[in-house]
Amino acid sequence: MKKIILIVTLFLSMNTYALTQRIEILGMVCAFCAQGIEKSFISDENVKDVFVNLKEYFVVIESKDGKSIDEKHIRTIVNDAGYDVRNIEIVSDSVGEIRERYDPK
């Protein structure tokens, strides 16, 4: 019984934190492209924060606490914006930390 309670507690605690995903985008070559993709993601109800790195062709999105954005939905957003996804990976840093690393104003 203790094992079941522990597993359920761990599972529930995993869902209360934001998830950050790094998406490599094919075809994103200009500031207009980057702005369009950023708007597409930020308008999604599950997205908390977005950072677009045009120089290295990737977007980082952070889900709202307790929410998730599955890979299929991410691909749909990118495809609807007119681009293709090369790769999607979960990263341990927040969007804010990544933004500071690549855009330290």
Q: What is the pTM of this model?
A: 0.80
Question: Which residue in 50, 47, 69, 70 sits closest to 60, CA to CA?
Answer: 50
**Is the pLDDT reported for residue 17 higher than 90?**
no
| Residues ≥6 apart with Cβ < 8 Å to 101 | 93
Note the pLDDT tens digit of each residue in 56-95: 999 999 999 888 899 999 999 999 999 999 999 999 999 9
Q: What CATH number is given for 18-102 in this structure?
A: 3.30.70.100
In contact, 10 and 51? CB cutoff 8 Å: no
Burial of 105 (0-12, 13-18, 19+ CB in 10 A): exposed
Note the pLDDT tens digit of each residue in 18-59: 799 999 999 999 999 999 999 999 999 999 999 999 999 999
Domain ranges in the chain?
18-102
Alpha carbon of 93 to those of 31, 64, 101: distances in Å? 24, 14, 10
